[in-house]
Amino acid sequence: MRDESIRVRPATERDVPLILALIRELAEYERAPNDVVATEDALRCHLFGPWDATNARPGPAAECLIGECDGRAEGFALYFSNFSTWMGRPGLYLEDLFVRPSARGRGLGRALLRRLARVAVERGCGRMEWAVLDWNQPAIGFYRALGATPMDEWTVFRLTGPALRALADEARPAT
């Protein structure tokens, strides 16, 4: 049964404060409230602002959907394009999906993922991927119920901060 009070819409620049608030709520839920360093200016720039000539590609770095229940914003999905070399096709990577606890169980998470699946199909993507914390059993069960499968053989690696800068600044080998 479809809940008529649920609406999913593309985020607009006016939503930047809301997006940041939802990101902070997600970080709180994921037990990492102090890890959020995003700012409204950074989100505005990377989600809605044109990139200048010094950037490697034009356009936004990511996109965002807002999920509403009864006209109130209760969740978001932030995503971007990636590419599968093996498939030779683009993919869609879901960076974050969050529905406020008070709105869970109404179908908003499913509605956000359904919209993302439509975006992926419309863009000719071969797959949609995301990561979930291994302790988040409610989310894992939800994703499995949708038909998603865990990629147990893969380990996610991350390079940030000083280690990222050190590698970028490393001298190039002589040729």
List, for residues 144-164, the tens digit of each pLDDT value.
Answer: 999 999 999 999 999 999 999
User: Among the options 29, 79, 93, 143, which is catalytic?
Assistant: 143
Q: Is the pLDDT of residue 104 over 70?
A: yes
Residue 54 — very low, low, confident or very high, per pLDDT cuts 50/70/90?
Answer: low
Q: Is the pLDDT of residue 55 over 70?
A: no
Dist. CA 150–CA 88, nearest whole Å: 22
End-to-end CA distance of the chain: 64
Angle at 118 between CA 121 and CA 156, to 5 degrees: 75
Q: What's the burial of 11, exposed, middle or buried (CB within 10 Å: 0-12/13-18/19+)? A: buried
CATH number of 6-169: 3.40.630.30
Q: Are 31 and 136 in contact (CB under 8 A)?
A: no
Q: Are 30 and 84 in contact (CB under 8 A)?
A: no
Residue 2 — very low, low, confident or very high, per pLDDT cuts 50/70/90?
Answer: low
Residue 58 — very low, low, confident or very high, per pLDDT cuts 50/70/90?
Answer: low
- 29 catalytic, yes or no? no
